[in-house]
Chains A and B, each alone.
Chain A
Amino acid sequence: MSDGNQSPVSFKVVGHRPIRPDGVDKVTGRAQFGADFHLPGMLTGRIKRSPHPHARILKIDTSAAEKLPGVKAIVTGADLDVGAGGDIEAGEHAAAMKDVAANVLASGKVFYQGHAVAAVAATSPEIAAEALDLIEVTYEVLPHVIDVDEAIAAGAAVLHDDMFTKGVTPKPAKPSNVAQRHVMGRGDVKAAFAAADVVIEGRYTTAAVHQGYIEPHACVASWGADGQSTIWCSSQGQFLVRAMTARILNLPLSDIKVIPAEIGGGFGGKTTVYLEPVALALSRKCGRPVKLVMSREEVFLASGPTSGASMDIKLAATKDGKITGAEMELRYQAGAFAGSPVNLGCMTAFACYDVENLALVGLDVVSNRPKVAAYRAPGAPMAAFAVESAIDDLARKLNMDPIDLRILNAVRDGAKTVYGATVRYSAFVETLEAVKAHPHYQAKLKPGQARGVAAGFWFNIGGESSAAVHVDEDGGATVVSSNPDIGGSRASMAMMAAETLGLPIERVRCTIADTTSIGFSGSTGGSRVTFATGMAVVEAAQKVVADLKRRAAQTWECDIAHVEYRDGVATCLDPSKDAKPLSIKALAGKSAKTGGPIAAEVSLNAQGAAAGYGVHVCDLEIDAETGRTTVVRYTAAQDVGRAIHPAYVEGQLQGGAAQGVGWALNEEYVYNAKGLLDNASFLDYRMPVASDLPMIDTILVEAKPNPRHPYGAKGVGEVPIVPPLAAVSNAVSALVGKRMTALPLSPIVVLAAMGKA
């Protein structure tokens, strides 16, 4: 349910719940995903992967495979040419292109089990598989390290000889697995702890978890005889795929066209490339289209999960509950190459709270795991797990209501965050108050149940976006978006255009353009599309409205200042004219007589995104015999600015909460002593399914629409995965009578905490 907070402004389309435009295609199987494309003469690609977690490649012998009938091309890392390297904007940070290339196809060393070392294109899947077996790779196996704390310990196997910790002065003399040390803070933390009435301490760990998108990575690449190439793929950004592929193969951007397929989930994990440059390199070699599709095992082995983390936290507080200081060290797994979201963990850890004295250190640590990729609110859920657990400890120690304690310490507009921004347009306090007043929080627990509360934050971003609005000859409109739709953006784009044009939503359709058909856009991620691309859509629609008014004025031979446009109809306000109103349909039908087609395209760099805050409440019970935890009631509340399509927003809250519950209770990468992953399948990697969860209630708090967006939107997709880890863990801790500090809280862990293992 939604609490029905009503917007102060009544819109005709925005804020309503039209049927989702992609629903029929998806439930009938008509939607075209990455693996659904077939071209004449297309070959099957397969990738040979490392069986070792860490090894030097001494030799790759492809001669036997090349002789196998049906094999048309084989590529290795030697076929990539990243040139000068450099960085490129990716899901959670600027990605070093030499690392992206070395992750796509290994060069010199393999850094994790499943690391790609060669690829083959053949006339059938069977021949491709046989060819992989014929490729002989000679390795010198090296010592490996998997755990983040072990990776920074003295004597750990070092992955990269050229990795000297950045952020340390003077520059270290020896290489290590710590790629970078981030430091941030303010105030006098020592003095805060010296004066504290209460000190809370803890060490917390979380496991690496995968985004778990249903659709594996897939693409088709076709190299043209004229050097013009086309890639069909499922991704969170067709422009990102084009840029990365061009850089890895040293090609001009204009030689590559990327056509976005329907996407079967991304959650941040599809903000990089794994297959596209390989498929195009194969196609370049043999001149035929090549399809590459990962198996689920390959998805787990070789595509980015998010970081596992190890964290130490210490809070100082007064006896009244005011948090006066905090220290925290966060150590995040980056996987095989530098670039964990630990800096974002540092920045978000205390973003919900107004704490005067803070000292945060973040370590970006490489180990023999797949390179991490973005996952909803990258870096924030782990940090929030530690912070929200410590705050729960503080509430219990002071015998305070956990929401009252959070309200006491909550950031309010005007507060300064540790990362430098001033809090604006925030409704965190209103969100906490909405939860406190909600029937869920007021309800009494049954015997054997416990309740956990936790909060979360995400910045939300804007950035570069392009969109076009075309008015059709019959008065309907088409919106051309530059962003793949992973969370309902086709609906929200069409709705904002319809609202601006004064059309019913049924007369506006939204399509996702390829890289040659619309201006550049950043990827779909960071909860930016409804805000930034939405801004482009609204500005394009406003240009169309201005053009419609101009055409009406021209038709009536009146001053444009005398034309009013409302609800899809232009009216002449000049009393000297006997002019009948002109609908958008009438104006569109005669567009040739007033200047030609009616359309506008806008490209912009959206600034002014507003942060989001969430508060979750989780009731659960534990089976004392098996240790299985069952969530019996769950409510997710969020400061959403204004919900453009409330049902989609509720879906974002519910999806994020479900993923966070899985992170808290079951999900983890399980490595054995040989550094090999033991659970690379959905059978053994336990994600929650519908029957594991209750209906998740939602509260959309619309107290502070973002004034920097035409319809008040804030990003909503990231925040909901931040609070669940601690919301669940706080409830489990209450039930077992012991602070749970290591996720996941699998049955065996819970039984052990209950003294029954």
Chain B
Amino acid sequence: MAHVVSISSKVRDLTGGLDAFDVEAATVRGLIRALEARFPGLGELVEAEMSLAIDGEIHQDAMAEPLGPASEVVLIPRISGG
């Protein structure tokens, strides 16, 4: 069960104000699928516009990245730069 935390107001708009919740997923792809099922639009938003901090390390578009049974996944705005 991945523990999902968000710091994004865009996420809050889709979760009815929830900032933290648990999701059953073994990979990032599964997580996105589960997010979309639970909060329509959120999976799509995360896939298109967000990075994930999985147990502290930032991942971008890493769909196959495995999630541990107690992984913490933080949804963060996609980071780029100049």
Contact = CB atoms under 8 A, between A and B. Distances in A.
Interface of A: 87, 89-94, 166-169, 180-184, 211, 266-269, 271, 343-344, 347, 374-378, 416, 418-424, 458-464, 525-528, 605, 607-609, 715, 717-718
Given A416-B56, A463-B60, A607-B57, A268 B77 contact: no
27 contacts: A93-B77, A93-B78, A94-B78, A167-B13, A169-B12, A180-B9, A184-B8, A266-B82, A271-B80, A347-B79, A374-B82, A378-B81, A378-B82, A416-B56, A419-B7, A419-B76, A420-B74, A421-B56, A421-B58, A421-B76, A462-B60, A525-B82, A526-B79, A607-B58, A607-B60, A609-B58, A717-B82
A166 B41 CA distance: 15
Interface of B: 5, 7-10, 12-13, 17, 48-49, 53, 55-62, 65, 74-82
Given A87-B49, A169-B17, A609-B58, A183 B9 contact: yes
Contacts of A267: 82
Nearest to A269: B82
Contact of B61 (A268, A525, A605): A605
A376 B74 contact: no
B9 A181 contact: yes
A326 to B, nearest CB: 15
Contacts of A376: 81-82
B80 A525 contact: yes
Contacts of A266: 82
The 10 closest A-B pairs by CB, nearest first: A268-B82, A422-B56, A420-B74, A526-B81, A167-B9, A420-B53, A374-B82, A184-B7, A376-B82, A421-B53
Given A422-B56, A527-B81, A182 B76 contact: no
Contacts of A269: 82
Contacts of A419: 7, 53, 74, 76
Given A94-B48, A268-B82, A526-B80, A182 B8 contact: yes
Nearest to A266: B82
Contacts of A184: 7-8
A243 to B, nearest CB: 14
B10 A166 contact: yes
Given A182-B9, A422-B55, A526 B62 contact: no
Nearest to A92: B80
Given A422-B57, A605-B61, A461 B48 contact: no
A166 B9 contact: yes
B77 A718 contact: no
B58 A374 contact: no
B62 to A, nearest CB: 6
Given A420-B53, A605-B62, A607-B62, A89 B80 contact: yes
Q: Which of B7, B75, B78, B80 has the most CB of A within 10 A?
A: B80
A528 B77 CA distance: 17
Contacts of B81: 91-92, 268, 374, 376-378, 458-461, 525-528, 715, 718
B18 to A, nearest CB: 12
Q: Which of A168, A183, A421, A462 has the most CB of B within 10 A?
A: A421
Contact of A90 (B5, B76, B80): B80
Contact of A461 (B9, B65, B75, B80): B80
Contacts of A89: 78, 80
A418 B59 CA distance: 16
Contacts of B61: 463-464, 605
A726 B61 CA distance: 35
B11 to A, nearest CB: 10
